[in-house]
Amino acid sequence: MTTLPENPYLPEDMSSPMVEVHFELRVGVGTLKAKVDVPAGQTTMTGLLPILQNLETAVIDKVVHEATASGHSISCRAGCGACCRQLVPVSIFEAEALFQWFSDLQEEQREMIEQRFHQALLALRENGILQRLLDEEWSKDEESVTRLAIDYFHARVACPFLQNENCSIHPIRPLSCREYLVTGPPALCDDPSIHDVRGVKFPFTLSRALYRLGQELEHDNRGWIPMVFLLAWGKSGLHPGEHFTGTGQEVLRIFMEHLATMASTDKGGKTSAGLMQAT
Ligand code: SF4
């Protein structure tokens, strides 16, 4: 198991001045009153990820509270990695941060992780999934993405970060993993393509706002990558976060504008279960 620092995304210079931002988000039948501390100086969209993760935690707490109050308790537990065999979408900003985290590890840890990614890619190559992923046609429409996502799940290739059915990067796992919350019997997660996996309904998802931001960059038409491509993508040296720079308040405002756009298109609520949604 890789030992992780408590919050590796935190900026090294903790003495940088921060500024308090207050806002309200409509979550379910209630309102989430949020207060976040953002850098007073310059940052990037990737630099803002710790704040977005904290915001995600607050949103999830509220959504879970409402689900529980209406009799739907969450069945996800530590040690259950059933959903970690899906095609996991990682926004390119999270990919940038995760690759930075990976690059800062000691050589021995990097080699171990590289080996796990290599094994996953080999397994996906054996059943033809890798070739399909490399052909950009697979994401041309929602139906194609769903078809590949089902085949991917049936290949039973675990996320390289899954160890002993636990997430080895839990504090820094992608938002898509955090938003995947199931209320039905865990046994149904064995195959979300045939079972009715009941998921918590989110009024909006922060992950999709990040995908939308990523889609605005010239080099990317999805805004996310499959987790299994993380290391290869990271080695290309891209820094998408730098395309959205400004003070903490300015970058947060850009994100919130995209979140508002996605919230209006997600009208009626979005379930996080089934196969991980990324389109
Ligand atoms: S990052 Fe962690 S939670 Fe997400 S799929 Fe991988 S092992 Fe599972």
Mean pLDDT computed over every residue of the chain = 87
Nearest CA to ligand 1 atom 5: 84
Which has more confidence, 85 or 263?
Answer: 85
More confident residue, 10 or 154: 154
At position 263, the amino acid (one-letter code) is A
pLDDT band at 278 (very low <50, low <70, confident <90, very high): low
Average pLDDT score over residue span 66-89: 88
Q: What percent of the chain has pLDDT over 90?
A: 58
Which residues contact ligand 1 via a Cβ below 6 A? 81, 84, 88, 159, 161-162, 167, 169, 173, 177
The count of structural domains within the chain is 1
> Cβ of 134: how many Cβ atoms within 10 Å?
10
* Mutate-to-test residue for ligand 1 from 86, 177, 189, highest number of ligand atoms within 8 A of CB: 177
> Is residue 172, in this structure, part of any structural domain at all?
yes
Cβ-Cβ contacts under 8 Å for 84 (sequence gap 6 or more):
158, 159, 161, 162, 165, 167, 177
Q: Report the run of H or E that residue 220 belongs to, with start and end.
A: none
Question: What do you get for the CA distance between the two ends of the chain, in Å?
Answer: 32
Between 263 and 239, name the one with better pLDDT.
239
> How confident is the model at residue 268, as a pLDDT?
47
| C-alpha of 120 from chain center | 19
**Tens of pLDDT, residues 149-183:** 999 999 999 999 999 999 999 999 999 999 998 88
For residue 162, the ligand 1 atom closest to its alpha carbon is 7
pLDDT attached to residue 77: 84
Look at residue 276 in the predicted model and tell me its pLDDT: 66
Task: Kindly state whether residue 213 falls inside one of the protein's structural domains.
Answer: yes
Helix (H) or strand (E) holding 163: strand 162-163
Residue nearest to ligand 1 atom 2, measured at CA: 167
pLDDT at 55: 92
Show the 3-state SS of 22-82.
EEEEEECCEEEEEEEEEECCEEECCCCHHHHHHHHHHHHHHHHHHHHHCCCCCCCCCCCCH
- Asked whether the predicted pLDDT for residue 60 surpasses 70, the reply is yes
pLDDT at 121: 98
Distance 71 CA to ligand 1 centre (A): 27
Residue closest via CA to ligand 1's atom 4 equals 177
Question: Domain for residue 2, yes or no?
Answer: no
* 4, pLDDT greater than 50: no
pLDDT band for position 199 (cuts 50, 70, 90): confident
Pick the atom of ligand 1 nearest to 169's CA.
2
pLDDT at 208: 94
Q: Cβ distance 34 to 22 under 8 Å? A: yes
Q: How far is the CA of 229 from the centre of ligand 1 (A)?
A: 14
Helix, strand, coil distribution of the chain in percent, nearest 5: 50, 15, 35
Amino acid (1-letter code) at residue 183: T
The pLDDT value given to residue 45? 97
The CA 35 to ligand 1 mean position distance, Å, reads 28
Position 96 in a domain: yes
Model confidence at 33, pLDDT cuts 50, 70, 90, reads confident
The residue segments making up the domain with residue 118 are: 18-271
pLDDT of 109 above 80: yes
What is the rounded CA–CA span in Å between residue 183 and residue 80? Answer: 14
Residue 216: both structure tokens together: 């605005």
Length of the chain: 279
Q: What pLDDT is recorded for position 192?
A: 79
Lowest mean pLDDT among 96-110, 139-153, 236-250: 139-153
At 25 the pLDDT is: 86
Quote the ligand 1 centre to 210 CA distance (angstroms): 18
Domain membership of residue 4 (yes or no) is no
Task: State if pTM tops 0.85.
Answer: yes
For residue 88, which atom of ligand 1 is closest to its CA? 5
Give me the mean pLDDT over the 63-82 stretch.
87
Q: Going by CA atoms, what residue is nearest to atom 1 of ligand 1?
A: 173
Position 174 scores a pLDDT of: 97
